[in-house]
Amino acid sequence: MPIRIEPAELKGQIKVPPSKSISHRAIICAGLAQGLSRIENIVMSQDILATVEGMTALGANIRVVEEAAIPGAGGDQGQILEIKGIGYPQTAKKIIDCRESGSTLRFLLPLASLTGQAVTFEGKGRLKERPLAEYYRIFDEQGVKYANNRGFLPLTVQGSLYPGEFSLRGDVSSQFISGLLFALPLLDGDSRLHITTEVQSEGYIHLTLDVLHKFGIEVEQTSPQEFRIKGNQRYKAASYKVEGDYSQAAFWIVAAVIGGRIDCLDLRPQSLQADRAIVEIVKEMGGDIRFKQDILSARRTSTYGTTIDASQCPDLVPVLAVLASLSQGTTRIVNAGRLRLKESDRLKAIASELNKLGAQVQELEEGLEIEGVESLKGGVEVDSWNDHRIAMALAVASLRCQQAVTLTGFEAVSKSYPNFWDDFKMLGGRMQ
């Protein structure tokens, strides 16, 4: 059933959900560690559940030991996981259901190959179509057996990587690089990983290196495109608290700037998250946004068009398209072609749905060109395209519509932010 969203101003304080990107990485590292780890501030979105179940399938023991209410977060719960790691991947379950999580699939594939057993990866929706050619090439080079459905899921892998020289493209997805960085330290010998192209979403690789370090794994990055990884390393158990997620905070920041006043809690000012770029992008467009310790405050401001390079922060594009639609002048979003391979074709999806609302968005091959308008019209039905970020972006856009907006597929937010609508209402959103 669709929901109806009335125009409104969002005001108040929100505790930003924990970083999904960091949560994936911490759960994997803890699952590979020898001993007992404690991971604080986890929200069990569909993507995180996929990684928890995937690591359980590889032998880790993971349980929720505590739930702590997060003040000011619309009833959201921050869970604490206790993870007894396995030291080295084992086959506890031969099927891993990645749901729609590209991170789960690409992070766990190299680890599954280390078991020496046949492991089958399944998935839903557009995940079945997400490219895996970079791994297939490495598997071919190393004699790892695999079988798939005409190049796509389900995928069965059997065999083991061996140490040595690895090369990957850096302009498809940084997830391939991170996946190898999880696995290569466990091999019986040293390896070198060379990136053959310009690296996109480089910030996500830095996140991986940081979390690896916290769990006792050292990787030497000798240049932006080369990594040296010592073999025979062992992950060490640790206590780890996940910081707030800038990619989720971005929706509240834009909601405030287009018409409201919101304080976002639990955002580390010096975070390594690539999506921290939202702060500088909004400032460049004239937005009133400032930090006081770990509280980011955003206020309604007139904003102006600019050129946004999305190569390092593609997840921000849907909500930035909303901001651009309500900014004076022209905004160009460039280097965003990879968004066509996400949960939806996000360039087509956000252009289509914003134009229904009265925006002026032109879809380009590798980005968007947006001419700002004073306000959006609304009064129509829009579709999330079963994509969590499209759903949340359209919710933000509805705030500046002249009439109510009907949104179908609102449930898609469960993939990354299950309590988004609770938080939306808590801040003053009006929906039924």
Contact (CB, 8 A) for 331 and 354: no
Sequence-ordered strand ranges (E) for 106-198: 119-122, 145-149, 152-158, 165-168, 191-195
Contact (CB, 8 A) for 281 and 322: no
φ, ψ of residue 168 in degrees (nearest 5) = -145, 150
Contact (CB, 8 A) for 134 and 168: yes
Nearest one of 134, 276, 144 to 193, comparing CA atoms: 134
Strand-pair category, 119-122 with 95-97: parallel
What distance in Å separates the CA atoms of residue 301 and residue 304, rounded to the nearest whole number?
10
Q: Any alpha helices (H) in 232-340, and if so which ranges? A: 246-259, 277-284, 317-325
Sequence-ordered strand ranges (E) for 288-412: 288-292, 295-299, 307-309, 330-334, 360-364, 367-371, 381-383, 405-408
- Pick the catalytic residue: 76, 315, 383, 423? 315
Task: For residue 422, indicate whether it is catalytic.
Answer: no
Q: What is each CA distance from 426 to 105, 356, 379, 410, 430, in whole angstroms?
A: 34, 27, 23, 17, 9
User: Tokens representing 382?
Assistant: 């829009």
What distance in Å separates the CA atoms of residue 326 and residue 212, rounded to the nearest whole number?
41
Work out the angle at residue 123's Cα, subtended by the Cα atoms of residues 118 and 126, and round it to the nearest 5 degrees: 140
Contact (CB, 8 A) for 98 and 129: no
Contact (CB, 8 A) for 385 and 409: yes
What distance in Å separates the CA atoms of residue 179 and residue 109, rounded to the nearest whole number?
7
Q: Any alpha helices (H) in 215-370, and if so which ranges? A: 246-259, 277-284, 317-325, 346-356
Nearest one of 80, 52, 78, 10 to 421, comparing CA atoms: 10
What distance in Å separates the CA atoms of residue 237 and residue 229, rounded to the nearest whole number?
20
Nearest one of 213, 216, 205, 270 to 243, comparing CA atoms: 270
Cite the active site residues.
315
